[in-house]
Amino acid sequence: MTISMYAASIPPMIRSLTNLKVIIEKAVTHAEAKKIDTSVLINARLHPDMFPLVRQVQIATDVAKGAASRLAGLKPPKYEDNESSFPEILARIDKTITLLESFKPEQIDGSEDKTIALPMHDKTVNFQGLPYLLNFVLPNVYFHVTTVYAILRYNGVEIGKKDFLGNIY
């Protein structure tokens, strides 16, 4: 049995971002219940040299929208990266999920060997489609979603593994 590039990319990214949205919504509820200024959570970090929660969300959504677009041969849309509230963060996640849902299997399938040119800082890194997806995209989305989870859990938000994985059973 083979799995298509679409099936290996779009549904898992939608699922991760949907679960991220649930986790963020629980953070909002937690902050309201505990009378915590939401900016504390939005700017929280696990370590001083790590990005804050808001940047983790921006990177997760950037990687997801960039992957879908590049695998489909399209230029990724640009987001402003100016979110400073949970409603803005949730809107960004929703916008990314909507974008991902707009892709059709025929746009992504067959991109296993497509050359993907990924601008990174001061250079461009070239990947083939399948290694790009499996070795760069999915690990990055999972890493940044996991980091948001860890930041919120560390700050007392009552979330667990089921929130991260979503409803799988």
DSSP alpha helix (H) spans, the chain: 5-34, 38-42, 53-71, 86-102, 105-108, 129-131, 138-154, 161-165
- Whichever domain contains 119, its CATH number is 1.20.120.450
Q: Record the tokens describing residue 83, joined without a space.
A: 């979110």
Domain extent, residue 98, equals 5-157
The more confidently predicted of residues 164 and 169 is: 164
**Would 165 be classed as within a structural domain?**
no
**Would 166 be classed as within a structural domain?**
no
**Would 111 be classed as within a structural domain?**
yes
**Would 169 be classed as within a structural domain?**
no
**Would 68 be classed as within a structural domain?**
yes
Model confidence over 137-166: pLDDT tens digits?
Answer: 999 999 999 999 999 999 999 999 999 999
DSSP letters, 87-112, are HHHHHHHHHHHHHHHH--HHHHTT-T
**Would 51 be classed as within a structural domain?**
yes
The predicted structure's pLDDT at residue 168 = 77
**Would 162 be classed as within a structural domain?**
no
The predicted structure's pLDDT at residue 169 = 65
Single pTM value for the model: 0.96
Angle between helices 53-71 and 138-154 (to 10 degrees): 160
Work out how many domains the chain is built from and give that number. 1
Model confidence over 12-31: pLDDT tens digits?
Answer: 999 999 999 999 999 999 99
Distance between the two ends of the chain, CA-based, in angstroms?
A: 23
The predicted structure's pLDDT at residue 59 = 98
Model confidence over 99-134: pLDDT tens digits?
Answer: 999 999 999 999 999 999 999 889 999 999 999 999
pLDDT at residue 1 above 70?
no
pLDDT at residue 87 above 80?
yes
Model confidence over 26-85: pLDDT tens digits?
Answer: 999 999 999 999 999 999 999 999 999 999 999 999 999 999 999 999 999 999 999 999
Check: CB of residue 161 under 8 Å from CB of residue 153. Answer: no
**Would 167 be classed as within a structural domain?**
no
